[in-house]
């Protein structure tokens, strides 16, 4: 049998992707944001408890394994610490076991950092970029900015910052998810992930862009804590039509705090049986030397293409998704 | 019994859920940002045919269900059980009323159908998509009417009632789609 060799997406999508990349590059060029490249194959990898990575084996001379990056974040921050000024990158990122309608284990990511931007300024920047790359219909209404606690309360009736298992359980049952109790148990973070992804997310960005900010501090991130309310972080997520498109932070620059979060995440990985990793010492050294005040965000470009082309699965925008890569 | 991790879930996979065998219809990954991943799974309960949706934590495992679907020949009904035979091994199986359910109105002796076995016992019967059955009762049609417009009820030899065109008569054999219960055509002699 001849294996199927043809692209999974249409030729039109291949052209749309080229156009999108061109528009992104023009946008950042005009804004004086420098395009950079960092390695895909790295000596260290993120400690995020729920990101699974690919690693190499059978290297010559007993070298340590290398990791396919789950995000270019650490390397880009090392560049920022070396005084590059604002930078962006279009690259591939890899996440094992993420395969489905909205996921391919290898995906295209746009990541950028803006010096001296706070989270609100970063959101302005996202809106501006999106106005260059997305169809006009997404701008008929003003982009929505809503804090996590408010949007969570709006759709679940619950307080995201105060975990009361019985209240959470009652709400889940009322909203049609009786299994949540068994899945989440007494883990506040898992409850938030469950309720947000199953109940809240589908309502976000129906008419245009929706940005949710100030995530509860218990959700893992590299964002700094809010100065006025340390229960929330300076983190933003971007949604259109219920699809999560990006994740950004007013970046944590405190090396000690970052080290502590790595240690917590490494412990959590151990607890949930995730593969063992060590903290990225080069990244920590760069933080120690001094990361300039900045905000940064990563946007999934394949999903942006899904939105532009109105397709409903990621395979429709990829030339060769994992199953025929 | 083997078990399957959510990472292996795919359409058609047979799993045990709350003591009943189920078949996966759809499996969707739900992953909030960098958070915990879940699998939202749509399943069909193979005993009662009901469709349900349920979320699992990704990485969780479920027991596999020992379910097979086999082509079988329908033999006869002894008043309590329906008897089927595997055409090659000649193994015989008896299915109760619950397992046969709606399929019984299409089952004619010797007809082939699909038997779903759970732990080697029949839990459901799927008739062929098309069956050809003789009309045992229907009102005489109007002479000369070949349009079939309107139609009339006809009782088939197995007891099923379908709407047929007016020109179709008792004793004729008709082809019926068992999925919709609709008349397709007169069977070619």
Q: Is the pLDDT of residue B4 over 70?
A: yes
Interface of B with A in 132-171 (CB under 8 A): none
Q: List the strands of the sheet with B130-138, edge to edge.
A: B161-164, B152-156, B130-138, B173-177, B182-186
- Top residue of A50, A195, A248 to mutate, by most chain B CBs within 10 Å, is A50
pLDDT of residue B146: 58
Contact B34/A244, CB-based, under 8 Å?
no
pLDDT of residue B144: 59
In chain B, the residue whose alpha carbon lies closest to the alpha carbon of A299 is: B33
β-pair type (B82-85, B92-95): antiparallel
Q: How confident is the model at residue A258 (pLDDT cuts 50, 70, 90)?
A: very high
Output the pTM of the full model: 0.85
Which residues, at least 6 apart from B172, have a Cβ–Cβ distance to it below 8 Å? B134, B135, B186, B187
pLDDT of residue A302: 98
List of chain A residues whose C-beta atoms are within 8 Å of the C-beta of residue B32? 193, 196-197, 201, 244
- Is the pLDDT higher at A219 or at A302? A302
Q: Give the separation between CA A14 and CA A319, rounded to whole angstroms.
A: 7
Average pLDDT over residues A299-312: 96
| SS3 label, residue A245 | strand
Interface of A with B in 237-256 (CB under 8 A): 237, 244, 247
pLDDT of residue B54: 96
List of chain B residues whose C-beta atoms are within 8 Å of the C-beta of residue A100? 27-29
- Top residue of B28, B31, B54, B58 to mutate, by most chain A CBs within 10 Å, is B31
Residue B143 vs residues B80, B123, B150: alpha-carbon distances, Å: 43, 46, 15
pLDDT of residue A293: 97
pLDDT of residue B111: 87
Contact A50/B38, CB-based, under 8 Å?
no
Out of B31, B35, B55, the one facing A179 most closely (by C-beta) is B55
Answer whether A197 touches B (CB < 8 Å): yes
Q: Is the pLDDT of residue A68 over 80?
A: yes
Total residue count of chain A as it appears in this document: 325
Q: Is the pLDDT of residue A128 over 80?
A: yes
Q: Is the pLDDT of residue B147 over 60?
A: no
Q: Is the pLDDT of residue A84 over 90?
A: yes
Question: What DSSP line would sit under A79-121, residue for residue?
Answer: HHHTT--SEEEEEEEE-TT--SSS--SEEEEEEEEEET--HHH
pLDDT of residue A45: 92
pLDDT of residue A4: 86
Q: Is the pLDDT of residue A284 over 90?
A: yes
Q: How confident is the model at residue B145 (pLDDT cuts 50, 70, 90)?
A: low
pLDDT of residue B33: 77
Instruction: Count other Cβ atoms within 10 Å, centred on residue A110.
Output: 21
pLDDT of residue B1: 67
Q: How confident is the model at residue A107 (pLDDT cuts 50, 70, 90)?
A: very high
Average pLDDT over residues B131-152: 77
Count Cβ–Cβ pairs < 8 Å, chain A vs chain B. Answer: 66
The topology under which CATH files domain A11-143+208-324 is BirA Bifunctional Protein; domain 2 (3.30.930)
Contact B36/A194, CB-based, under 8 Å?
yes
Contact B31/A103, CB-based, under 8 Å?
yes
List of chain B residues whose C-beta atoms are within 8 Å of the C-beta of residue A298? none
- Is the pLDDT higher at A100 or at B40? B40
Mind telling me how many Å the CA of A299 is from chain B's nearest CA? 11
Q: List the strands of the sheet with B112-118, edge to edge.
A: B92-95, B82-85, B67-77, B112-118, B121-126
Residue B14 vs residues B22, B116, B117, B188: alpha-carbon distances, Å: 6, 11, 12, 39
In chain B, the residue whose alpha carbon lies closest to the alpha carbon of A235 is: B33
pLDDT of residue A220: 67
Q: Are A57 and A41 in contact (CB under 8 A)?
A: no
| SS3 label, residue A288 | helix
Q: Give the separation between CA A248 and CA A74, rounded to whole angstroms.
A: 14
Q: Are B59 and B8 in contact (CB under 8 A)?
A: no
pLDDT of residue A130: 97
Q: How confident is the model at residue A54 (pLDDT cuts 50, 70, 90)?
A: very high
Q: Is the pLDDT of residue B151 over 70?
A: yes
- Model confidence over B68-108: pLDDT tens digits? 999 999 999 998 999 999 999 999 999 999 899 889 899 98
Contact B35/A192, CB-based, under 8 Å?
yes
- Model confidence over A14-41: pLDDT tens digits? 999 999 999 999 999 999 999 999 999 9
- Model confidence over B28-79: pLDDT tens digits? 999 887 889 999 999 999 988 899 999 999 989 999 999 999 999 999 999 8
Contact A197/B57, CB-based, under 8 Å?
no
pLDDT of residue B24: 95
Q: Is the pLDDT of residue B181 over 70?
A: yes
Locus of tokens 């003591």: B19
Mind telling me how many Å the CA of B101 is from chain A's nearest CA? 30
Of A237, A247, A193, A230, the closest CA to residue A212 belongs to: A237
Average pLDDT over residues A139-148: 93
């Amino acid at each position: 049998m001849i294996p199927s060799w043809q692209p999974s997406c249409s030729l039109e999508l291949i052209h749309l992707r080229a156009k999108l990349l061109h528009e992104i590059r023009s946008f950042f060029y005009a804004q004086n944001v420098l395009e950079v490249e960092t390695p895909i194959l790295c000596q260290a990898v993120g400690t995020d408890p729920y990101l699974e990575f690919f690693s190499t084996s059978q290297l010559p001379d007993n070298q340590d394994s290398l990791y396919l990056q789950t995000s270019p974040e650490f390397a880009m921050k090392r560049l920022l610490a070396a005084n590059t000024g604002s930078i962006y990158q279009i690259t591939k990122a890899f996440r094992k076991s993420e395969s489905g309608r909205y996921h391919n284990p290898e995906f295209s990511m746009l990541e950028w950092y803006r010096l001296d931007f706070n989270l609100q300024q970063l959101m302005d920047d996202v809106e501006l970029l999106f106005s260059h790359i997305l169809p006009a219909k997404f701008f008929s209404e003003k982009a929505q900015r809503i804090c996590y606690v408010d949007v969570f309360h709006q759709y679940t009736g619950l307080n995201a910052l105060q975990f009361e298992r019985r209240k959470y359980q009652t709400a889940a049952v009322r909203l049609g998810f009786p299994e949540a109790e068994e899945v989440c148990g007494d883990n506040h973070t898992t409850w938030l992930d469950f309720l947000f992804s199953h109940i809240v997310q589908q309502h976000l960005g129906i008419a245009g862009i929706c940005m949710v900010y100030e995530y509860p501090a218990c959700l893992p991130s590299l964002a700094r804590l809010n100065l006025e309310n340390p229960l929330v972080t300076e983190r933003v997520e971007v949604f259109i039509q219920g699809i999560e498109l990006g994740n950004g932070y007013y970046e944590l620059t405190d090396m000690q705090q970052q080290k502590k979060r790595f240690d917590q995440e490494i412990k959590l990985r151990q607890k949930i049986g995730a593969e063992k990793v060590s903290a990225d010492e080069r990244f920590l050294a760069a933080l120690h030397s001094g990361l300039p005040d900045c905000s940064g965000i990563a946007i999934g470009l394949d999903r942006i293409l899904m939105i532009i082309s109105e397709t409903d699965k990621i395979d429709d925008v990829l030339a060769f998704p994992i199953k025929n890569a | 019994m083997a078990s399957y991790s959510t990472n292996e879930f795919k359409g058609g996979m047979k799993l045990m859920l709350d003591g009943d065998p189920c078949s996966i219809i759809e499996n969707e990954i739900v992953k909030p940002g960098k958070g915990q991943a879940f699998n939202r799974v749509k399943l069909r309960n193979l005993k009662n045919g009901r469709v349900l949706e349920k979320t699992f934590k990704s990485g969780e495992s479920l027991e596999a269900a020992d379910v097979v679907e086999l082509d079988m020949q329908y033999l006869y009904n002894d008043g309590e059980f329906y008897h089927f035979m595997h055409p090659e091994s000649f193994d015989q199986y008896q299915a109760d009323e619950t397992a046969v359910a709606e399929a019984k109105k299409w089952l004619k002796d010797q007809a082939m159908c699909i038997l779903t076995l759970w732990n080697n016992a029949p839990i459901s019967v799927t008739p062929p998509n098309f069956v050809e059955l003789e009309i045992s009762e229907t009102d005489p049609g109007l002479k000369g009417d070949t349009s079939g417009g309107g139609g009339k009820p006809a009782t088939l030899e197995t007891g099923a009632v379908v709407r047929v065109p007016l020109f179709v008569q008792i004793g004729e054999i008709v082809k019926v789609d068992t999925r919709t219960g609709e008349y397709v055509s007169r069977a070619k002699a």
